[in-house]
Amino acid sequence: MAGQAPGHEVNGPPALELRGVTKRFGDLLANDGVDFDVRRGEVHALLGENGAGKTTLMRIVYGLSGPDAGEIRVAGRPVSIHSPRDAIAAGIGMVTQHFALVRPMTVAENLVLGRVPGLRLHPAEARRRALEASERFGIGAAPDAVVGRLSVGQQQRVEILKALARDCRILILDEPTAVLVPHEVAALFETLRHLVAEGLSVVFISHKLGEVRAISDRVSVLRRGRLVGTVAGTTPEPELARMMVGRPTFGVMREGAARARGGEPVLRIDRLRVETSAGRPLVRDVTLEVGAGEIVGVAGVSGNGQTELVEVLSGMRRPAAGSVRVGDVELAGRRPAAVMAAGVGRIPEDRHASLVGELSVAYNLVLERLDDFRRGGALDEGRIRAEAEALIARFSIRARPGDRVATLSGGNVQKVLLARVLSREPRVLVVSQPTRGLDVGATEYVRRELLARRAAGTAILLVSEDLDEILALSDRVVVMYEGEIVGEMAAPEADLERLGLLMAGRGRAA
């Protein structure tokens, strides 16, 4: 078949096969009689919008949820999988979107947890295993680092390494490259190709259609719980996108986005310095301006000061030195309420941490300005609902005002957050990882909203570990490495190789 790599075993039973898998949650039919298989020694990509049923299907395979109907076969034999322990025993490993790491423990301890005999964990042995796994799979991870102190991107890399280090024959990878720079993606793909050539079977879930085409032998697309079709990995991107959303898509392309000339600087950062409590520098004398109607992209491997920079700009962290000004207002060290009042909006990298999952969509939409919806001493429920209905319509949120945010898909959670922030018409927008984990349709929507804000004159600082995203949206790109800005260039003149080298600390650019 087209896209099939040499050495793939087509004959014989599939390594993993699903027959007629069905799963309901109340009235919602999450999986509707899905047939899916992965051959021994192939990469089979699984695509679909958020809510299409991909995660539910893979949770069933990994024993995190049970099917209402259907059968799972491994190497041609029916298996009963009731827990991850059953899945691991059947040779199935999985990296989920929500990390299964023990935050107070080190990277090394997390990698060996549950895999060592007896009750004692030997730190030296755990460290040795972690270093070996890191070297073998080409994914850097500091073995002595405490997981709870790592950024979201660093934690995801630990999860990838943890899954690869397990002795599994079928590996499910959900957005495994979201935080990797180009040479790391290439190294991961090289590792996967080597493992696949030795017989490993991989289910590869990604919203990056270019990566799907680069690594996959076959691609299956789910839409609204049903299997739309299975095609060769060489299928053109527009066709894959059409299968996913049921219509042609017009994604934001680098060459199609008109570049802005930034107006008068709105956000001014001058010699900003952030340190740990022990005085270790995290952000080193960063100086940067963002003009009205301009998007400045901040590229860099996770853990190089981007998170701390965003925290200072949003009032979540006090800097050790330096200045942050919006217009004529000094904001360095001010509280989040003062930062918002000065016209700064923030879209954080962890969208779930900024919303209250158990509260309704309506309350989450007005959470930061509840005082505007009081009548006397009580909240005006009617006005809150009316505001929510207006924002739901304006931002195309697939939810009702009374729905709990915890029940929404990732794309709709991000739309709630966008609606809450953008409805205040901020002068400055600080955006971090805005499309991480989102499908093609949701990603397209979020990126178009950012470009619309740029066109309206908003100054936007975009922090992303997705270089395609940086290049698609930004007018200028700066690169952060070990807390410093080591390079700046106009986005149309930037290329992936040059950016990748800067992100890895190799050389500087003017």
Same domain (yes/no): 313, 199: no
**Is there a single domain that holds both residue 301 and residue 321?**
yes
Same domain, yes or no: 202 and 314: no
DSSP 3-state of 290: strand
For residue 94, what are the β-bridge partners? 172
Structural tokens at position 371:
């005082």
Q: What is the pLDDT of residue 269?
A: 98
Where does a domain end: 195, 213, 245? 245
Q: Are residues 107 and 239 in the same domain?
A: no
For 397-450, the pLDDT digits (tens) are: 989 999 999 998 888 899 999 999 999 999 999 999 898 767 677 788 899 999
**How many structural domains does the chain have?**
4
- Report whether 170 contacts 93 (CB < 8 A): yes
Pure H helices in 4-148: 54-61, 84-89, 107-112, 123-137
Domain check: are 451 and 480 in the same one? yes
Judge whether 348 lies within some domain: no
Strand order in the sheet with 170-174: 92-95, 170-174, 201-205, 43-47, 218-223, 226-232
What does the alpha-carbon distance between residue 23 and residue 41 come to, in Å, rounded to a whole number? 28
Q: Are residues 461 and 312 located together in one domain of the fold? A: yes
Helix, strand or coil for residue 65?
coil
User: Which has the closest alpha carbon to 506: 491, 492, 487?
Assistant: 487
- Give domain status of residue 96, yes or no: no
Looking at the structure, tell me whether residues 153 and 181 fall in a common domain: no
pLDDT value of residue 7: 43
Distance of CA 313 to the CA centre of its chain: 21
The two three-digit tokens of residue 427, written as one number: 């002068």
476-481 and 484-490 strand pairing: antiparallel
Q: What is the DSSP letter of 5?
A: P
DSSP 232: E
In 3D space, the residue among 61, 34, 62 whose CA is nearest the CA of residue 48 turns out to be 34
Based on the fold, state whether residues 275 and 216 are members of the same structural domain.
no
Tell which residue, 449, 477, 475, has the closest CA to residue 463. 477
Q: Is residue 161 part of a domain?
A: yes
> Where does a domain end: 211, 245, 279?
245
Q: Are 184 and 319 in a shared domain?
A: no
Residue-number span of the structural domain to which 162 is assigned: 101-166
Q: What is the spatial distance between Cα 44 and Cα 217, in angstroms, rounded to a whole number?
A: 6
Please give the C-alpha separations between residue 348 and each of 66, 187, 410, 421, 435, in angstroms, as whole numbers: 33, 29, 14, 11, 11
Residue 349 lies in a domain: no
CB 240 within 8 A of CB 212: yes
Q: pTM value?
A: 0.63
- Within 10 A of 189 (CB to CB), how many other CB atoms are there? 18
pLDDT tens digit sequence for 83-92: 999 998 899 9
Of 145, 166, 187, the one marking the end of a domain is: 166
Would you say residue 509 lies in a domain? no
Please check whether residues 326 and 381 belong to one and the same domain: no
Give the model's pLDDT for residue 180: 63
Residue at 61 is within a domain: yes
pLDDT digit string (tens) for the chain, length 510 residues: 334 444 455 567 999 999 999 999 888 899 999 999 999 999 999 987 766 888 889 999 999 999 999 999 999 999 999 999 999 889 998 877 667 888 899 999 998 886 655 556 678 888 988 898 888 776 778 899 999 888 666 787 788 888 777 778 899 987 777 656 676 678 778 888 988 887 889 999 876 788 899 999 999 999 889 999 999 999 998 888 788 876 555 444 443 445 555 679 999 999 999 999 889 999 999 999 999 999 999 998 778 999 999 999 999 999 999 999 999 999 999 999 999 999 999 998 888 888 999 999 999 999 988 888 988 888 999 999 999 999 999 998 989 999 999 998 888 899 999 999 999 999 999 999 898 767 677 788 899 999 999 999 999 999 988 777 888 899 999 999 999 999 999 988 887 777 777 887 776 654
Two tokens at 448? 């178009």
Cβ pair 10, 39 in contact under 8 A:
yes
| 183 plus 83 within the same structural domain | yes
Single-letter code of the amino acid located at 216: S
Contact 113, 119 (CB under 8 A): no
Angle formed at CA 98 by CA 94 and CA 100, multiple of 5 degrees: 65
Closest among 324, 284, 341, 256 to 484, alpha carbons compared? 284
The widest CA-to-CA distance across the chain, in whole angstroms, is 74
What is the pLDDT at residue 2? 38
Q: Return the HEC string of 235-281.
A: CCHHHHHHHHHCCCCCCCCHHHCCCCCCCCEEEEEEEEEEECCCCCE
How many other β-carbons are positioned within 10 Å of the β-carbon of residue 402? 11
Distances in whole angstroms, Cα of residue 138 to Cα of each of 153, 161, 374: 16, 9, 55
What's the CATH number where 220 sits?
Answer: 3.40.50.300
Q: Has residue 380 been placed in a domain?
A: yes
Q: Phi and psi (nearest 5°) for 469? A: -65, -45
| 86/185 same-domain check | yes
- How is 374-438 classified by DSSP, letter by letter? EETTEE-HHHHHHHHHHHHHHTT-SS-TTSBGGGS-HHHHHHHHHHHHHTT--SEEEEESTTTT-
